[in-house]
Amino acid sequence: METFYDVFGVVAAICSGIVFLAIFFTCLNWFNRATRGFEVVKMRGFIKEGKVVNVYLNGVRTVRGVYFVGFTERASAKGGIPYQMAGMVVLETVNGGRILIRADSVRMIEEVEDTVAG
């Protein structure tokens, strides 16, 4: 019977440690999601870094001579950024200003030469 208590004590200690760590990292993840703004997700190999692009939108509008930065991360149900601001394309102008465009309104992204096409 004493062997049972010795084995059970070790197993219970390991299990309670795993449960404690799982709860700790879940709370830490929840806290990080609740306190951060939006995050720009960069995509390697998608568009070469530093390349000027023209972005063709649905309809007749075109955004020319901007740099592709990435996409905003999708927001969770609680916390983070509003759902309407999630999943947007992040572009940067030559002057360093940021442009956010809804990803579903982008029809085509075209890489152009390094010179800015007005």
117 domain-assigned: no
Shared domain for 31 and 44, answered yes or no, is no
**5-41 pLDDT per residue, tens:** 788 888 999 999 999 999 999 999 888 777 766 666 6
As beta bridge partners, residue 54 has 110
The tokens for 88 are: 């947007």
Same-domain check for residues 63 and 100 = yes
Residues 39 and 73: beta-carbon distance below 8 Å: yes
Q: What percent of the chain is modeled with pLDDT above 70?
A: 75
Q: Which domain holds residue 20?
A: 1-35
Instruction: Answer with the residue of higher pLDDT: 6 or 76.
Output: 6
- pLDDT tens string 59-73: 889 999 898 888 777
In this structure, are 14 and 68 located in the same domain?
Answer: no
Do 101 and 82 have their domain in common?
Answer: yes
Number of domains in the chain: 2
**pLDDT tier at 89 (50, 70, 90 boundaries)?**
confident
